[in-house]
A and B are shown apart, each in its own frame.
Chain A
Amino acid sequence: MTDINEPEALSRKELEERQNAHPFAVPFLWLGNQKVIDNFIWLPVLGMIAMIALGIVFPQAKPAPWDAIPGSWALIGFVAYSFIVLCAKPLTALLARDESYYGEGGLADPEYSTDPDITGEAHHD
């Protein structure tokens, strides 16, 4: 098992990644860095806080009833988004079926498949 924290292993991995990447993508390979991904959350959160503060200073010119609450649009955005996403589980249970359900072959299939976020392992139908 290679330890990716070792400078030598990291540079080898980086080198390999650079060789395989498109030249335009090379300066942006840091986007795939786990630390960057983990800390990305601060960007929208800080942006949201800044906009809520600015929203208090510059209120809506033609306010809707909910604009009486400071940060109302942020609240709507956060709650609406979370509600939609949290509906996924019951909706999947209710509506998802096997790809061959209609017997028409479903949509175009790839050569191989990976299942992200759950197993991380390749699987085949």
Chain B
Amino acid sequence: MIDIYQINPGLWMILAGLICALVPKGDAFAMVRKAFIIGAPIFAGVMITQIYTSQEVLAGQINIGGLELTTLRIDNLSMVWGYLFCLIAVINGIYGFHEKCRITDSSALIYAGAAIAGVLSGDLLTLFLFWELTAISSVFLIWKGGQRAYAAGVRYLALHVLSGVLLLAGAIFYAQSNGGDYSFNDIGIDSLGGWLILIAIGIKCGFPFLHMWMQDAYPKASITGTVILSAFTTKMAIYALARGYVGVDILIYIGAIMTCFPVFFALIENDLRRVLAFSLNNQLGFMVCGIGIGTELALNGVVGQVFVHVIFKSLLFMSIGAVMYRVGTAKASELGGLFRSMPITAVFCLIGAGSIAAFPLLAAFVTKAMIISAVIYEASYDPSLYVIAAMLLFASAGVMEHSGIKVPYFTFFSHDSGRRVKEAPWNMLVAMGLAALLCIVLAFPWGGYQMLYSLMPYEANYQPYTVDHVVFQLQLLFAAISAFCVLKKFKLYPAEKRGEILDFDWTYRKFGLGIMQWIGAMWTRLSVQTTRLRERAIEGAGRRLFHIFSPAGAMSESAPSGLAAVLTAAMLIIVLIFVYFVR
């Protein structure tokens, strides 16, 4: 008898995804798939609730080839990610309700299921399995973006499979240095395995120079696909960091850089889905930095930030996706004035923008402050961390620029593009409404953010709604908006222009490709020469063999009987020696 409480809840979603893949096409069957899309994450969430008992639960142990695997671990850390992924999978399911696509439905379920199973896995090998499954299942969401998304999907897959390979190699090295123990706990960077796993995670969560897949693939995926993609992969990587690399100093600096560099790219990027992908990268920086700080306050901030970030980032992607669905583009240069046609979407987008910018009473106000405060508190022991705190404040102004102002302003306000379209479909509005409601509720001073605190791994005593915090945060935000208005008034704010912004992926998409093409051309030239030499050599060898073995050759000439006897005796000796030793 199978005990369903021993089964990783993510597997139920993967199973639902596989069933969806087998459900025939057609409108009637599409409703069956939609029932799975919304029902499966709810079921998985219920299973997590049933299994988790406020203590760490280890279950689903299996032995494969002498390796003891723990396929299910639910504790106060993995539980948060598990619930979050179930919640956002339901919201995404509602958002994509209008889309009658079997591939999207099944890959979305398998992808979300793999992410849930990954964060609920108790050892590195199980994590590796679901790590790769997230990559393989999610690439279909990118390819649903059409022909122009194909190459981006291949690049995405290549990098993520590489990440998986590094994770596996790291796990093996780590286990070797750890007495063969594959359990996924604190790893650190004291061993080669630890470094390899860190790089594997770094690819997935967009460390500098490893981040390009995000801005390359996400804007090219289908509308629903981008929303789904934004929720899982990177947050799964943040979970892995929070599990294995708490307090690793290098993460403070990596995180701080991650918060700052995407700000500049987002500024000059015209495609708003790509702007949001840069913004995603920037927000991940706050989380990485918090994990590097590693104090209880910082980790609570990271967990809270992950939770609200998934919601408000999805909300922003959903609102731009709704615009794209109606208008046909997400390019800022082609949009503007859409509040006249899509006022409800505009309000939801503004709530998402306010949340990411950390306005009081909106989502990130509580959680981002926890991370920045944790850095400032630690800086009282290590003054060099004031530089990091300053970088985070700088990045906060940057967030206000690209997500707080640019995205809603150029989409819904700015100049009137003259487009008069319908409001978003009802299901998109419901999904955005739910996300917007959560953005407000989870920052509400009276019983709201306390719900978020109840999910945090440590007891949270941080008071976000103090006068000084509200006042200084509003100083920053009002100043940033004032700067925008001043720069706009004096025509110093750059106009949105169509174009391709070069990023680090240029190194392999252009430079690397150029080098490979050059090597290919050289190889072709070289092979012409080598073919000629080879042909000559073969021809020469053939001619010599002919001279020796042909009927007119040297070997056909009659030999003296004495020489023949010696040769025969020599061959006999060789055979005898061979037989003697082989026996």
CB distance from B327 to the nearest CB of A (A): 7
Cβ of B520 within 8 Å of any chain A Cβ, yes or no, is no
Structural contact, B339 and A28, CB atoms closer than 8 A: yes
Cβ of B267 within 8 Å of any chain A Cβ, yes or no, is yes
A-B contact count (CB 8 A): 239
Contacts of B376 in A (CB 8 A): 62, 64
Structural contact, B475 and A48, CB atoms closer than 8 A: yes
Contacts of A118 in B (CB 8 A): 495
CB distance from A71 to the nearest CB of B (A): 7
Cβ of B499 within 8 Å of any chain A Cβ, yes or no, is yes
Cα–Cα distance between A1 and B104 once the two chains are bound (Å): 51
Cα–Cα distance between A28 and B175 once the two chains are bound (Å): 62
Interface string of B94-132 (1 = CB under 8 A from A): 000000000000000000000000000000000000000
Cα–Cα distance between A2 and B396 once the two chains are bound (Å): 45
Cα–Cα distance between A105 and B151 once the two chains are bound (Å): 11
Contact stretch, chosen from B62-70, B236-244, B466-474, B539-547:
B466-474
Interface string of B126-154 (1 = CB under 8 A from A): 00000000000000000000111001100
Chain A residues numbered 73-101 whose CB sits less than 8 Å from any CB in chain B? 73-78, 80-82, 84-89, 91-92, 95-101
**Residue of B whose beta carbon sits closest to that of A75:** B479
Cα–Cα distance between A104 and B473 once the two chains are bound (Å): 43
Select which of A81, A102, A105, A120 is within 8 A of B400 by beta carbon.
A81
Cβ of B478 within 8 Å of any chain A Cβ, yes or no, is yes
Cβ of A22 within 8 Å of any chain B Cβ, yes or no, is yes
> Given that A54-B471, A105-B148, A107-B274 are contacting pairs, would A84 and B267 also be in contact in the complex, using a CB cutoff of 8 Å?
yes
Cβ of A20 within 8 Å of any chain B Cβ, yes or no, is yes
**Residue of A whose beta carbon sits closest to that of B481:** A44
Cα–Cα distance between A99 and B491 once the two chains are bound (Å): 25
Cβ of A7 within 8 Å of any chain B Cβ, yes or no, is no
Residue of A45, A95, A107 with most partner-chain B CB within 10 A: A107
CB distance from A85 to the nearest CB of B (A): 5
Cβ of B331 within 8 Å of any chain A Cβ, yes or no, is yes
**Residue of B whose beta carbon sits closest to that of A108:** B329
Structural contact, B415 and A120, CB atoms closer than 8 A: yes
Number of A residues near B (Cβ < 8 Å) is: 71
Contacts of B484 in A (CB 8 A): 81, 85
Chain A residues numbered 1-30 whose CB sits less than 8 Å from any CB in chain B? 17, 20-22, 24-25, 28-29
Structural contact, A55 and B475, CB atoms closer than 8 A: yes
**Residue of A whose beta carbon sits closest to that of B342:** A22
Chain B residues numbered 262-293 whose CB sits less than 8 Å from any CB in chain A? 263-265, 267-268, 271, 273-274
Structural contact, A99 and B498, CB atoms closer than 8 A: yes
Select which of B328, B420, B486 is within 8 A of A41 by beta carbon.
B486
Select which of B334, B397, B480 is within 8 A of A110 by beta carbon.
B334
Structural contact, A125 and B499, CB atoms closer than 8 A: no
Contacts of A113 in B (CB 8 A): 333-334, 498
Contacts of B389 in A (CB 8 A): 64
Cα–Cα distance between A58 and B473 once the two chains are bound (Å): 13
**Residue of A whose beta carbon sits closest to that of B385:** A64
Cβ of B43 within 8 Å of any chain A Cβ, yes or no, is no
Select which of B343, B414, B474 is within 8 A of A116 by beta carbon.
B414
Contacts of A107 in B (CB 8 A): 148, 219-220, 271, 273-274, 330-331
Cβ of B502 within 8 Å of any chain A Cβ, yes or no, is yes
Cβ of B425 within 8 Å of any chain A Cβ, yes or no, is no
Structural contact, B330 and A114, CB atoms closer than 8 A: no
**Residue of B whose beta carbon sits closest to that of A39:** B485
4 A-B pairs with the lowest CB-CB distances in the bound complex, closest first: A77-B479, A80-B397, A41-B485, A110-B329
By a beta-carbon cutoff of 8 Å, the part of chain B in contact with chain A is: 146-148, 151-152, 219-220, 263-265, 267-268, 271, 273-274, 324, 327-331, 333-334, 336-337, 339-344, 373, 376-377, 379-380, 386, 389-390, 393-394, 396-398, 400-401, 410, 413-418, 420, 423, 466-468, 471-487, 489, 491-503, 509-510
11 more A-B residue pairs beyond the given contacts A41-B489, A77-B476, A108-B324, with a C-beta to C-beta distance below 8 A? A31-B339, A41-B485, A47-B481, A55-B475, A58-B467, A58-B471, A59-B468, A76-B394, A87-B267, A91-B267, A96-B499
What are 22 A-B pairs with beta-carbon distances under 8 A?
A21-B420, A22-B342, A24-B344, A25-B340, A32-B340, A32-B416, A47-B478, A58-B467, A58-B468, A60-B468, A78-B482, A80-B397, A81-B400, A81-B483, A91-B267, A97-B502, A99-B498, A107-B273, A108-B148, A114-B336, A114-B417, A116-B417
